[in-house]
Structure 1
């Protein structure tokens, strides 16, 4: 399947690994950007957040980041200030963002990626934690 898919990936994140595996289960080899090593530009980040229908606050990762220490929960901070923090310390960018011609999503949970992939899953899919997402025919469970 030829489809231009990009995943902003963190290989240490189970959700990101599951998302990447579901993309590949659809027969698509995406462009994988390890965003901690190669963060998006400000323009790319703003576009991904907007295209995913999120606010900047919804795109910030709190868990396992310096979010609290940096006081990013302060409601007076502007979106620009939050973006500055995310670009300075990319671990603050929630993951994984996936961009396809069918849309952009923050794939949390990982099966959200199925909403922006063609219906070409090659068979069953089970997440790393054992949760079944796709049946033997590649159809979504639940």
Structure 2
């Protein structure tokens, strides 16, 4: 599968373990270090649609200022969360993996197996 993508943070153990698991399965995914490359609105909306999730489902709270920004409020709109994620890519939880079978936030790493 040359069309496997992992949105990766090399400082994250879960992300590193997911990448290692993909490689153990003989795959060499395209690695996108989203903290360096950032996000676009279209990209995030496409990922959310593929995952069947809302922006709240991929919001990273731990180690971020999501709470102070009011993003953990259940009434915060997906648009508000996506806008914040574009400004501060760290607000997106990781790793997100995309394969021809779908996309998922792979926490724990073994969730990636369902995409292979």
SS in 2 for 1:29: coil
Equivalent position of 1:24 in the other structure? 23
| Structure 2: distance between partners of 1:54 and 1:46 | 10
TM-score of the pair, normalised by structure 2: 0.94
Matched pairs, number:
116
The structure with more radius of gyration: 1
Map of 1:135 onto structure 2? none
Deviates more, 1:37-46 or 1:106-115: 37-46
CA deviations 1:7-53 (Å, max 9, x no partner) are 00000101100100011011111100000001232111111112112
Question: How far apart in 1 are the matches of 2:102 and 2:74?
Answer: 29
List structure 1 segments (4+ residues) > 3 angstroms apart after TM superposition: none
Residue of structure 1 in register with 2:10 after alignment: 11
Residues 57-95 of structure 1 deviation map (CA, whole Å, 9 limit, x = unaligned):
011000011111212122332110111011110000010
Gaps of 5+ in 2: none
Larger RCO, structure (CA 8 Å, separation 6 or more): 2
Name stretches of at least 5 consecutive residues in structure 1 with no aligned partner. Answer: 118-142
CA distance in 1, matches of 2:58, 2:3: 23
